[in-house]
A and B are shown apart, each in its own frame.
Chain A
Amino acid sequence: DQQVKQNSPSLSVQEGRISILNCDYTNSMFDYFLWYKKYPAEGPTFLISISSIKDKNEDGRFTVFLNKSAKHLSLHIVPSQPGDSAVYFCAARSTGNQFYFGTGTSLTVIP
C-alpha cells in the first residue's frame, strides 16, 4: 500500500513563477515530512523538512506547508529557476525511523 502519494508525475513552470508540488499521506503517525530533490545519475539530496507539530517551514525560496487534517503537504518554490528542474520526492518518517517515499514529481522550469 502506498502510504505517501504524489499524484502529479510531472509539472512545468515558467522561470520566475511559483512551483507547487503536492503530496498526500495516509498514516497519521508520521512525525516528520521531508522533500528530496534528485538529478539524473545522482542520489536524492535533502531539501527541506517539517515536523508534524508545525504547519509551515521556510528556507529561502523553498517553503513546505503541512495540513494535518487533510493529510496533505506541499512544497512551494518561488521564484522558480531552471536549476530547480529535477525530480522531487516527498517522504514521511514513521516510528522506527522508517521513511516512506512518494513516486516523485518531475519539475521542469522553462527559461
Chain B
Amino acid sequence: ETGVTQSPTHLIKTRGQQVTLRCSSQSGHNTVSWYQQALGQGPQFIFQYYREEENGRGNFPPRFSGLQFPNYSSELNVNALELDDSALYLCASSPGGRGAGTGELFFGEGSRLTVL
C-alpha cells in the first residue's frame, strides 16, 4: 500500500510569484484535503476534493485554488504569494467522501514553502 506522497518537499519563492504543490493520495482513497500549518500552529483546513470536485473550503482567499485528477491525485496552487504564506502545506487523503466513517486523515510529509 502506497502512502500519501507530496512534492516538492521544500521550495523557496518570492512575493508575487505563483506556486504549485502536488499530492498523490493513498491507494484506494478518493478524497484529498489540503492544510496549511504555520510555525507553532496546528494545521488549518484549506479545502477538500472528492471525486474531482471541491467538497468544502476553509477561510482562505481565492488565490488558493486546487484540482483533483481522475487518479485522485491533487494540486494546490497559490497565486500572488505573500510572506504570510510561508508554511508547511500538508496533503491528506481519506477513503470516503462526506461523512464517511470517522474520516481519519492520512497525511503526507508536507511541502515546506518559504516566501521571501
Contact = CB atoms under 8 A, between A and B. Distances in A.
A101 B109 contact: no
Contacts of B100: 97
A53 interface: no
Interface of A: 4, 6, 32, 34, 36, 41-46, 49, 51, 89, 91, 93, 96-104
Interface stretch (B11-19, B37-45, B66-74): B37-45
B104 A34 contact: yes
Interface residues on B, range: 20 to 34
A36 B106 CA distance: 10
B42 A43 contact: no
26 contacts: A4-B42, A32-B102, A34-B102, A43-B90, A43-B108, A43-B110, A44-B105, A46-B104, A46-B105, A89-B42, A89-B43, A93-B103, A96-B56, A96-B98, A97-B31, A97-B55, A97-B56, A97-B97, A98-B45, A98-B48, A98-B56, A99-B45, A99-B105, A101-B44, A103-B41, A104-B42
B28 interface: no
Contact of A97 (B35, B40, B103): B103
| Chief secondary structure at chain A's binding surface | strand
A102 B40 CA distance: 11
A41 B109 contact: yes
Given A97-B98, A101-B35, 7 more contacts: A34-B102, A43-B4, A89-B43, A91-B42, A96-B55, A98-B45, A98-B56
A87 B99 CA distance: 27
Contacts of B106: 46
